[in-house]
Amino acid sequence: MKKHNFSAGPCILPQVVLKKASEAILNFNDDDLSLIEISHRSKPFVEVMNKAQSLVKELLEVPDGYSVLFLQGGASMEFLMVAMNLMKVDGKAAYTNTGAWAKKAITEANSLGEAIVLGDSSDKNYNYIPKGYTIPSDVDYFHCTSNNTIYGTQMKVFPSCSTLMVCDMSSDIFSRKVDVSKFDLIYAGAQKNMGPAGTTLVIVKDEILGNTGRNIPTMLDYNTHISKGSMFNTPPVFPIYVSMLTLEWLKNLGGVEAIEKINQQKADLLYGEIDRNPLFEGTAAMEDRSNMNVCFLLTDSSKEGAFNTMWDEAGISGIKGHRSVGGYRASMYNAMPIESVQVLVDTMNKLEEN
Amino acid sequence: MKKHNFSAGPCILPQVVLKKASEAILNFNDDDLSLIEISHRSKPFVEVMNKAQSLVKELLEVPDGYSVLFLQGGASMEFLMVAMNLMKVDGKAAYTNTGAWAKKAITEANSLGEAIVLGDSSDKNYNYIPKGYTIPSDVDYFHCTSNNTIYGTQMKVFPSCSTLMVCDMSSDIFSRKVDVSKFDLIYAGAQKNMGPAGTTLVIVKDEILGNTGRNIPTMLDYNTHISKGSMFNTPPVFPIYVSMLTLEWLKNLGGVEAIEKINQQKADLLYGEIDRNPLFEGTAAMEDRSNMNVCFLLTDSSKEGAFNTMWDEAGISGIKGHRSVGGYRASMYNAMPIESVQVLVDTMNKLEEN
């Protein structure tokens, strides 16, 4: 039986993608060679890289003047690279503090200059998105995190900004329409809506680079990777290939607009049950609830054993909550079918009936 | 027909490894979930990481006091991390310049301090390994490249060294016995003898770290990764899994000692033909010839078309030489069977007969 995989990341990928990826490990491009044993400079792989980049541009309607990169090191490396490439020597930047990952980004910025924290929801264990702050125009850039996996919160509206706008979209990129032209730099670890762990997507407006007065080490300089089309050194071949397949799947499905509707249906279904069923309660502020990660608790903890047995028997996996929130977290990334969400809702229902 | 894959990297991997990797993409650990859609903190993947680390220790007889890490960014990122973690503020280090990769390592060291070049073979297009230099004891460390993929040269003996000894073993690690206790830090991109592109092996003596007086960004600090067992952030799950499978394959085959003998047989076979056949000549100095990458030229360039047709028809792939050397390069990493080398030798023979 195929599991209902609610894992927070690395997470569910489309079955058709997994099938093609599995085949490519044995015989890629009908060349009788594995995808992972050919040169990254060979024509078949260069085509993969080009296609992955152009699918990102197409699906997100990336305007001209932006570069699309597939790097390594995850969002954690981008925390450093963003500051390294955009913060002037002795400069400062404004950050929102909306959770564990945002905090790590702030730490890296503080190691190179000064990070001013504008919005901070740590007072309530990050269960809401701070609003109402004004972004000063004299900072080098503004940084926010669009979705907070651990706490199940999501920015529904982005603030207006007269400085450079940078966003960590690791956990909700490709899940909803976003106006890329409003951002100067977007980054995202692949392992949620794009592909397997091991590559990081960076979308950067070329003209914002090279203005820090800082000596940037080769591998940390976005311009290094832009000038070589993400092939300065050997790229992570397999994660990029699977990302390309996943983006192709998304395109065939109707693109970001189509998946956004499906994601909304899934969210409505599960949040609807949480709000209806007296045995459950959500942890995130209503208006900031994430459509990707749904965090909830049992109102009566004595039901925990029964509920855990029930979802396990229903073939559900990966819904244990993060230790800093507790309870449950159902992650419903793009590849999660609504049928799986229905199975979870039915299980919650059944718990109430028993 | 399965190709005879002489690609310089990413390169040939054992068939049994490819088969298991392909299966794990569909169903890993009999859990009805793909390897690439489960949490890296799940028990099955934590076991993969632990096994990969312990296989490295076992196969290379890594002494106590060393940590084994699987990082991202390739050797290119290590060029920076080595200098960042070992070079004191305003410090200096000694480097050998044995080729394109060594040169890039030198560039990164120079961006943080001073790199003194001790041995330099750029005068003869890097076709030999410089020897006879004395490593000063007042440098922070000495850095060398054990095998130079592009030029087909390999260090057969490592110099004695009274400072820290650092080696880029990207293209010959696990191919021959090496006394790890003589080194303080060894690093290697996975994509030659260990696995697919996307992870970098680092073996580091713990006690050498933390002495630079430098503020090291989180992700560039080896201690960050040591303290979290290579799981500070999401690791590149698939490349690490395939590396684990490849190391397991090597262990079953008899380990490094056994593969070293096979690699010597392959090298003897191909270099023997190059030296015997008047139509070919090797490019590297005899005593420094690499057992991994065999670079050779046609003595009569008018035979090029005929030879190219012949090896192509024999099912040989990936032997085009690097543009900076020209001619041919046959890479014979661990997974390359001697039968494939024989096919190449037969083809060279046939060219002579025609």
ipTM value for the complex: 0.97
Name the one residue in this structure whose structure tokens are 């609504």.
Answer: A338
- Beta-bridged to residue A95, according to DSSP, are A117, A143
A3 falls within a domain: no
Q: How far is A347 from A312, CA to CA, in rounded Å?
A: 10
Regarding whether B244 and B272 lie in a shared domain, the answer is no
Chain A, chain B: beta-carbon pairs less than 8 Å apart: 187
Q: Is the pLDDT of residue A24 over 70?
A: yes
CA B237 to chain centre: 20
Q: What is the CA radius of gyration of chain A?
A: 21
**B26 with A13: Cβ contact below 8 A:** no
Which residues of chain B are under the pLDDT cut of 70? 1
Quick: pLDDT tens for A256-293: 999 999 999 999 999 999 999 999 999 999 999 999 99
Regarding whether A283 and A155 lie in a shared domain, the answer is no
The DSSP annotation for A213-271 comes to -----GGG-HHHHHHTTT-SS---HHHHHHHHHHHHHHHHHTHHHHHHHHHHHHHHHHH
Regarding whether B261 and B248 lie in a shared domain, the answer is no
3-state SS, one letter per residue, for A170-202:
CCCCCCCCCCHHHCCEEEEECCCCCCCCCCEEE
Cβ of residue B326 closer than 8 Å to a chain A Cβ: no
Q: How far is A90 from A96, CA to CA, in rounded Å?
A: 20
Cβ of residue B34 closer than 8 Å to a chain A Cβ: yes
Regarding whether A269 and A228 lie in a shared domain, the answer is no
Regarding whether B174 and B29 lie in a shared domain, the answer is yes
In this complex, which of B111, B196, B218 lies closest to A238 when CB atoms are compared? Answer: B196
pTM for the structure as a whole: 0.98
A334 within 8 A of A191, measured Cβ to Cβ: no
Regarding whether A277 and A197 lie in a shared domain, the answer is no
- The Cα of A129 is separated from the nearest Cα of chain B by a number of Å equal to 24
Regarding whether A266 and A220 lie in a shared domain, the answer is no
Q: How much of chain A exceeds pLDDT 70, in percent?
A: 100
Alpha carbon distances (Å) from B110 to A210, A218, B165 = 20, 12, 18
Residue B1 is predicted with a pLDDT of 66
B139 falls within a domain: yes
Regarding whether A127 and A156 lie in a shared domain, the answer is yes
The number of domains in chain B is: 2
Cβ of residue B152 closer than 8 Å to a chain A Cβ: no
Residue A148 is predicted with a pLDDT of 98
Tell me, yes or no, if B206 is annotated catalytic.
no
Quick: pLDDT tens for B115-159: 999 999 999 999 999 999 999 999 999 999 999 999 999 999 999
Regarding whether B114 and B73 lie in a shared domain, the answer is yes
Regarding whether B259 and B249 lie in a shared domain, the answer is no
Quick: pLDDT tens for A145-190: 999 999 999 999 999 999 999 999 999 999 999 999 999 999 999 9
A5 falls within a domain: no
Regarding whether A159 and A91 lie in a shared domain, the answer is yes
The widest CA-to-CA distance across chain B, in whole angstroms, is 66
Residue A2 is predicted with a pLDDT of 78
**A36 with B18: Cβ contact below 8 A:** yes
Name the one residue in this structure whose structure tokens are 């997507």.
Answer: A201
Q: How far is B148 from B289, CA to CA, in rounded Å?
A: 10
Quick: pLDDT tens for B309-352: 999 999 999 999 999 999 999 999 999 999 999 999 999 999 99
**A198 with B317: Cβ contact below 8 A:** no
A154 falls within a domain: yes
CATH of the domain at B280: 3.90.1150.10
Average pLDDT over every residue of A47-54: 98
A109 within 8 A of A84, measured Cβ to Cβ: no
Which residues from B are below 8 Å from A219, CB to CB? 73, 76-77, 79-80
The DSSP annotation for A263-314 comes to HHHHHHHHHHHHHH-TTEEE-S-GGGB-SSEEEEEESSGGGHHHHHHHHHHT
Cβ of residue A7 closer than 8 Å to a chain B Cβ: yes
Which residues from A are below 8 Å from B40, CB to CB? 10, 197
B10 falls within a domain: no
B2 falls within a domain: no
Q: How far is B158 from B178, CA to CA, in rounded Å?
A: 10
Write down the mean pLDDT value for chain A.
97
Alpha helices (H) in A100-185, listed in sequence order: 100-112
B125 within 8 A of B151, measured Cβ to Cβ: yes
CATH of the domain at B210: 3.40.640.10
The widest CA-to-CA distance across chain A, in whole angstroms, is 66
Cβ of residue A305 closer than 8 Å to a chain B Cβ: no
Cβ of residue B223 closer than 8 Å to a chain A Cβ: no
In this complex, which of A10, A104, A317 lies closest to B237 when CB atoms are compared? Answer: A10
Q: Which of A214, A233, A253 is at the close of a domain?
A: A253
A256 within 8 A of A169, measured Cβ to Cβ: no
Q: Is the pLDDT of residue A138 over 90?
A: yes
Quick: pLDDT tens for A90-119: 899 999 999 999 999 999 999 999 999 999
Tell me, yes or no, if A192 is annotated catalytic.
yes
CA A161 to chain centre: 22
A340 within 8 A of A3, measured Cβ to Cβ: no
B287 falls within a domain: yes
Regarding whether A261 and A240 lie in a shared domain, the answer is no
Cβ of residue A111 closer than 8 Å to a chain B Cβ: yes
Q: Which of A253, A288, A311 is at the close of a domain?
A: A253
Residue A173 is predicted with a pLDDT of 98
Which residues from A are below 8 Å from B13, CB to CB? 34, 36-37
A37 falls within a domain: yes
Residue A233 is predicted with a pLDDT of 97
Q: Which of B229, B253, B277 is at the close of a domain?
A: B253
Quick: pLDDT tens for A1-15: 679 999 999 999 999
Three-class SS state of A22? helix
Residue A12 is predicted with a pLDDT of 96
Alpha helices (H) in chain B, listed in sequence order: 15-26, 43-59, 74-86, 100-112, 222-227, 237-253, 255-276, 304-313, 338-353
Tell me, yes or no, if B228 is annotated catalytic.
no
Domain that holds residue B287: 255-353
